[in-house]
Amino acid sequence: MTVSYKLKLTPTYHRDTYPSISPTKPSLTQTGKTILITGGGDGIGLEIARSFAKARASRIIIVGRRAGLLDEAVGGLRDEFQSGGTEFMAHQTDIGSDTSISSLWEFLHTQNILVHVIVFNATHLAPHLPDTLSIAKNELMDAFNALRPAGTQLFIINISTLAIHTTVPTMASYGVSKAAFTGLLGRIAHDRPAEDVQIISFHPGALYSEGASRILDKDTLDWDEFALPADFSVWAASPEAAWLHGRFVWAHWDVDELKSDPEVLKRLEEEKGYLTVGVQGLTAATIEPMSDVKKKYVELDTMCDVE
């Protein structure tokens, strides 16, 4: 039996890529940018690398735990896009290890590499705690943001899941940890404008990856095409998606219809908790951003020192 699932916020529900999110669309160009993709050796991560290559990213770095898999992936990408001008690199990294993460950023620093877009993709599709919370623990995002030169816009793309708002049997910890990380990014987005660091989380769809094949039969779900979330990642890492800064969406939803829906736009403007992780039934309260609070504390300390 094949199970079909849909959550439609727009009249059109995509199962594959479409022109508005095509990486070859001029307004979505990634020329001059370096892209870092966690879990980029296979599955959706590798497909995301392909999409950014089609968008003419200057450099794409894929990281993961299996060196052999990464080397094979980079070799394939170089062969496929040998005339595209994109440099492909791999770095063996365990995102659950502080030491490994530090090694990654030290490598980037010594190579004088600025990462413009980071795609959080690595996870375990299994009924146990994935690595997403470890990413927050080892302050990977802080290191990413700290390297931002003044006036340079960075992008954080989080491959989340419908499990953050839908109960999935036997996968409670997976959904909760994903919700925690998506919520964390939403809080960061509240304090940082999209002009500095644009942050978008999204459900990629039902993808029959290697991980999914270990726990599900191919006829279990009506699977989506990998190109949908891969190309959506490129769109999300562009100024066209700035109006969704800090929000969670589904890759299936048509971006043009979503942006032209007056009700959606009204709720995005008036409801700070709309399309974010929170408590159902309660209206999100707007609290002064911590960046402003910290600034006031610094000013107060300065005044005290002068006195």
Catalytic residues: 160, 174, 178
Q: How confident is the model at residue 29 (pLDDT cuts 50, 70, 90)?
A: very high
Q: pLDDT tier at 213 (50, 70, 90 boundaries)? A: low
Q: Give mean pLDDT, residues 174-189.
A: 85
Q: Is the pLDDT of residue 48 over 60?
A: yes
Whole-prediction pTM value? Answer: 0.86
Q: Is the pLDDT of residue 263 over 50?
A: yes
Percent of the chain scored above 90 by pLDDT?
A: 55
Q: Once rounded to an integer, what is the mean pLDDT over residues 167-179? A: 75
Q: Above 60 in pLDDT, residue 297?
A: no
Number of domains into which the chain is organized? 1
Predicted confidence at residue 234, as pLDDT, reads 99
Residue 165 has pLDDT above 80, yes or no: yes
Q: Give the pLDDT score at 207.
A: 87
Q: Does residue 307 belong to any structural domain of this protein?
A: no
Task: Answer for the pair 137, 145: CB distance below 8 angstroms, yes or no.
Answer: no
Q: Name the residue among 104, 148, 118, 137 with its Cα closest to residue 34.
A: 118
Asked whether residue 301 is assigned to any structural domain, the reply reads no
Indicate whether 97 belongs to any domain: yes
CB atoms within 10 A of CB 83: 6
pLDDT level of residue 23 (50, 70, 90 thresholds): very high
CA atoms within 13 A on the CB side of 90: 22
289 within a domain of the structure (yes/no):
no
Residues 56-96 have pLDDT tens digits of 999 999 999 999 999 999 999 999 999 989 999 999 998 87
Q: Is the pLDDT of residue 50 over 80?
A: yes
Q: Is 63 a domain residue?
A: yes
Distance CA 2, CA 61 (A): 36
Residue 170 confidence class, pLDDT cut points 50, 70, 90: low
Residue 270 maps to a domain: yes
Q: Which of residues 148 and 21 earns the better pLDDT score?
A: 21
Q: What is the CATH number of the domain that holds 141?
A: 3.40.50.720
**Separation between Cα atoms, residue 6 and residue 270, nearest integer Å:** 26
Residue 151 lies inside a defined structural domain of this protein: yes
The residue ranking higher by pLDDT, 35 or 222, is 35
**pLDDT computed for residue 12 by the predictor:** 96
Mean pLDDT score of the chain: 84
The residue range of the domain holding 150 is: 19-278
What confidence category does residue 132 fall into, taking pLDDT thresholds of 50, 70 and 90?
Answer: very low
Q: pLDDT value at position 1?
A: 38
Residue 235 domain-assigned?
yes
pLDDT at 208: 72
Beta carbons of 177 and 164 less than 8 angstroms apart: no
Q: How confident is the model at residue 51 (pLDDT cuts 50, 70, 90)?
A: very high
Looking at residue 289, what is its pLDDT?
61
Over 50: is that where the pLDDT of 126 sits? no
Q: What pLDDT score does 142 carry? A: 64
For the segment 186-214, the average pLDDT, to the nearest whole number, is: 87
